[in-house]
Amino acid sequence: MGWNSMETLVKIQERKNEKKIVNDGLTSAEKVKAHTEYTEENKRVNRDIGDDKQNYVEDLEATAGESEREEIIRQLSDMTRKLAGKYSKSERLVKNKEGESVTGIQEQRNMWIEHFEELLNRPAPLNPLDTK
């Protein structure tokens, strides 16, 4: 939920505190009062979350409109994907020394480890460059 404002995040925390009060061992009269307060707080928070999401979408649409006017195709397509809810960055393929694609996160990590060990553990050059 990257679209929530700081005020909404504070209200969400207040709502959690209200819920905790409702769930604590209170007398029945106190519990009814606490539940009523929680219900009101919950309505306000949900309304604020909806407003924040609407503002976020409007900002994305405005940015997409600016990109369209400025003909920034990549930014426009990124905004369109975000608005459509189909935004994910694809993983780059990792290939081994034979050129075969390596699947699996652990196998890919092992390939990177092997690559950098080979790269960084080279012997010192016989004729170092004179940097003076």
For the stretch 84-131, pLDDT in tens is 776 665 667 778 888 888 888 888 888 888 888 888 888 777 777 777
Question: Same structural domain for residues 68 and 115?
Answer: no
Q: Which of 8-17, 62-71, 116-125 has the lowest mean pLDDT?
A: 62-71
Closest by CA position to 16, among listed 48, 52, 45, 47: 45
Instruction: Report pTM.
Output: 0.46
By residue count, the chain amounts to 132
Query: What is the C-alpha to C-alpha distance for residues 64 and 61, in angstroms, rounded to an integer?
Result: 5
How much is the average pLDDT of 72-77?
Answer: 72
**Helix spans in 24-104 (H):** 28-70, 73-84
Q: pLDDT-based confidence at 1, cuts 50/70/90? A: very low
Using DSSP bridges, classify how beta strands 94-95 and 101-102 pair: parallel, antiparallel or unpaired: antiparallel
Please give the tally of structural domains in the chain.
Answer: 2
* pLDDT, position 61: 79
* pLDDT, position 29: 83
Would you say residue 38 lies in a domain?
yes
Question: Same structural domain for residues 30 and 80?
Answer: yes
Higher-confidence residue of 76 and 47: namely 47
Q: pLDDT-based confidence at 43, cuts 50/70/90? A: very high
Whether pLDDT at 9 is above 70:
yes
Mean pLDDT (the chain) is 80
Query: What is the C-alpha to C-alpha distance for residues 44 and 35, in angstroms, rounded to an integer?
Result: 14
Question: Same structural domain for residues 80 and 95?
Answer: no
* pLDDT, position 122: 80
Closest by CA position to 47, among listed 2, 6, 1, 8: 8
Residue 116 identity (one-letter amino acid) = F
Question: Same structural domain for residues 21 and 42?
Answer: yes
| Domain carrying residue 120 | 90-124
Residue 39 identity (one-letter amino acid) = T
Q: CB neighbours of 79 closer than 8 A, spacing ≥ 6?
A: 60, 61, 63, 64, 67
What are phi and psi for residue 101, nearest 5 degrees? Answer: -70, 135
